[in-house]
Structure 1
Amino acid sequence: MAKRDAYFDNMKVLLIALVVVGHLIEPLSSSEAYRPLYLLIYSFHIPLFVLISGYFCKEITSSDYRIKVVGSLIVPYLIFETLYSLFDYFVIGAQALRFSYFTPYWLMWFIFSMIIWKMLLPYAVKIRWALPISFVIAILAGYAVDAEYYASISRTIVFFPFFLAGYYLDKKHIDALRTLPMKIASAAVLGAAVLVMINYGSGIRPEWFYGSLPYAALDQPYWTAGLYRIAAYGASVLIGGAVMILITGRPLPYISVLGRNTLYAYLLHGFLVKGLIATGFYETYGESAWTWLLIPFGVLLAAGLSSEWMRVRFAWLLEPNLDRLFKKQNRDGRAEARR
């Protein structure tokens, strides 16, 4: 087994904590108190998560690359898309039981898009100037009024450049930037980002960071709308880059080890968040100062769901053994049925 890199494990732990906290405070994101934090989280955490995911997809020429996509993504996607639909109907109280496998349920868009990114990657990297071309396509896609939630088409296109950039990224490029002057500059960037979100956040629509809607739906039907997406990309690169430079590469006791199980936290935390919404928690306590406890609660929830304890108990659901589903490969590359 390859030795794990504590740097990326620490990064994944931070990002999954931000995902959980972001979802917990989302119902409060329109308030003056929570809006700056919500905007700051969404300005970089999705692009950075996508970038890290692309970084770990370098073995695209391996014989079992597509098989791993099926086992680690497609099967869990079908399972949890079904579970969330059932949860939505029987627990939340949706009016109809609807299985929308081609319109991913809420947080399931990331898994759906990941499937497409991974399947597309071996072909995309054969294209000359694939990375700048993907950025141009993502900017132009916003002008298409029908590029929305179906098949997660908008987000798949918008965030694919980060996935592709992650594939091209080399760890030595990151290490070369993690110098003391760059760390000071990165801290300044984060500080400036916080001030911008506090002072000007009321005029920033978080939907620009979602990547899920066309420009017309964001009240920008003009040809200059693409500049807003470019600005969102710029913010993601600056803030996300600052986080990458500042994150430690040292193994952190009890923390770094959680980085191997972040998929568990991602897929499971949604049930609790949706449950809180269904109970009327935010309507009852939305104005209370107690809601600030959602932030440490989200961090602890992300840690708990990423623990080895959870992996032992839910591996059958998130990492099912599919050996019997596929034919075994001989040394000459031919397949034979598994017995």
Structure 2
Amino acid sequence: MENRDLWVDHAKALGIVLVVYGHVLRGLHSAGIPMPETFYRLSDSIVYSFHMPLFFFLAGLFFQQSFAAKGARGLVFSKFDSIFYPYVLWSLLQGLIEAILADYTNGAVTYAEVFALLWAPRAQFWFLYALLLCFLLAVTVFSLSRRSIIPVTLVAALLHLFPSLLPEGLMWRYIADNFVFFALGILGAGQLRGMAASGWQVLFTVSLFVIAQYGFHGLLELHYTDRGILSLVLALVSIATVVTLCSWSARWPLGSVAYLGTTSMVIYLMHILAGSGIRVLLKAVGVDSFLLHTVTGVAGGLLLPLLALAIIQRLQLRYLFAAPISRWLTLSLNWALPRAGR
């Protein structure tokens, strides 16, 4: 495996651990599990200051390669396989389970909310919705001019800082919030290919990360929701730290870490059900230890989806995480276009 691929897997592994931790922590807080409020607010804000921008950045790294290989139409169709289909399927699966078990969980999910997924994504699935929008926008940009990515990135940064410049609506908010990181991933792909950071570079970026997070949260007493130039810089410093750290760790073949990265989508789709289930079971038997809930919730949120994946693969169940929509669309178009020319 190329170093570039391996460090990306390491970065995805770190990112998905943070995702699971963040959602477990929020679930425990909503469920009333006793925990230090200061720790909760600080920990939550640090994680949310960069963990999802990291995933948009990593997705952007491979955009040009995929665009060159598949073309505009092929890339769009492939994202219906790998993003839109699992978004719809797992939004329905998780949403229906949450609606049925609403009396036993933190939320009061309604069936109307579940079936509004095409215009109102909910829970963790907003990421897939926003990611598809980023791909569609990037395909449009590259179809018009591949050289326009730099000015488009600058515009994306401006819109991130001033989202009121866009019309109101979830679609525009998702683009304003996230496309700048996706575009930066596209720009950085060439420079990061084969990157292997030194120990000194890791020490420098980790130190910079600590200083930036302390300055933002400690000195300025800001929260990740206080969006502006400082929050953008904080996210970029944090992403740079992850990239440096993971390009350094990629020197060693940490198979279990890389596997977490390659299965991060599976974990993302199922970790809420796994973590919530563990929390409900522990509460049912009278456990209210914050530490025990956190450790078992994060471990279960990571490992139970992997166990489910192993069972799914063993049973050869198809189309739970992707579907051949692109092949169906291509066949339909190839059939329709000749007929239209008759």
TM-score of the alignment, normalized to the shorter chain, above 0.5: yes
- The alpha-carbon distance between structure 1 residues 310 and 25, as it changes in their structure 2 partners (threshold 3 A), is farther
Q: Does 192-201 or 269-278 show the bigger shift?
A: 192-201
What do the CA deviations read for 1:198-245 (whole angstroms, capped 9, x no partner)? 7458x333434xxxxxxxxxxxxxxxxxxx421110100112211211
Contact 2:274 2:304 (8 Å CA) reproduced: no
User: Which residue of structure 2 lines up, in the alignment, with residue 23 of structure 1?
Assistant: 23
User: Which residue of structure 1 lines up, in the alignment, with residue 49 of structure 2?
Assistant: 43
SS of match in other structure, 2:223: coil
User: Which residue of structure 1 lines up, in the alignment, with residue 138 of structure 2?
Assistant: 121
Cα distance in 2, alignment partners of residues 11 and 257 from structure 1:
11
What do the CA deviations read for 1:16-66 (whole angstroms, capped 9, x no partner)? 111001100124388112332222211211111110011122222424212
SS of match in other structure, 1:327: helix
User: Which residue of structure 2 lines up, in the alignment, with residue 167 of structure 1?
Assistant: 186
How do residues 140-219 of structure 1 correspond to structure 2 at under 5 angstroms? Answer: 140-142=162-164, 146-147=168-169, 150-151=170-171, 153-170=172-189, 172-173=191-192, 178-193=197-212, 195-196=214-215, 199=218, 203-208=221-226
Contact 1:51 1:163 (8 Å CA) reproduced: yes
User: Which residue of structure 2 lines up, in the alignment, with residue 240 of structure 1?
Assistant: 239
- The alpha-carbon distance between structure 1 residues 66 and 144, as it changes in their structure 2 partners (threshold 3 A), is closer
User: Which residue of structure 1 lines up, in the alignment, with residue 59 of structure 2?
Assistant: 53
Specify the code of the residue in structure 1 equivalent to 2:122.
Y
> What is the CA-CA distance between 1:12 and the residue it aligns to?
0.7
Match of 2:82 among 56, 72, 90: 72
> What is the CA-CA distance between 1:168 and the residue it aligns to?
1.8
What do the CA deviations read for 1:248-296 (whole angstroms, capped 9, x no partner)? 11320322123222110001112234446767949x766x4435x5146
User: Which residue of structure 1 lines up, in the alignment, with residue 111 of structure 2?
Assistant: 97
Specify the code of the residue in structure 2 equivalent to 1:259.
G
- The alpha-carbon distance between structure 1 residues 119 and 95, as it changes in their structure 2 partners (threshold 3 A), is closer
Specify the code of the residue in structure 1 equivalent to 2:329.
F
- The alpha-carbon distance between structure 1 residues 198 and 233, as it changes in their structure 2 partners (threshold 3 A), is closer
Contact 2:121 2:129 (8 Å CA) reproduced: yes
> Number of residue pairs matched?
307
Contact 1:44 1:236 (8 Å CA) reproduced: yes
- The alpha-carbon distance between structure 1 residues 109 and 60, as it changes in their structure 2 partners (threshold 3 A), is same
> What is the CA-CA distance between 1:136 and the residue it aligns to?
0.8
Contact 1:51 1:162 (8 Å CA) reproduced: yes
RMSD: 3.4
Q: Does 158-167 or 58-67 show the bigger shift?
A: 58-67
Q: Does 52-61 or 165-174 show the bigger shift?
A: 165-174
- The alpha-carbon distance between structure 1 residues 35 and 136, as it changes in their structure 2 partners (threshold 3 A), is same
- Are 1:112 and 2:114 matched, yes or no? no
Cα distance in 1, alignment partners of residues 207 and 45 from structure 2:
18
Match of 2:159 among 137, 142, 145: 137
Cα distance in 2, alignment partners of residues 232 and 115 from structure 1:
24
> What is the CA-CA distance between 1:174 and the residue it aligns to?
6.7
Cα distance in 2, alignment partners of residues 198 and 296 from structure 1:
28
Return 5+ residue gaps in structure 2 as ranges.
30-34, 337-342
Cα distance in 2, alignment partners of residues 2 and 325 from structure 1:
32
- The alpha-carbon distance between structure 1 residues 91 and 300, as it changes in their structure 2 partners (threshold 3 A), is closer
Specify the code of the residue in structure 2 equivalent to 1:157.
A
- Are 1:14 and 2:14 matched, yes or no? yes
> What is the CA-CA distance between 1:137 and the residue it aligns to?
1.8
Cα distance in 1, alignment partners of residues 175 and 306 from structure 2:
25
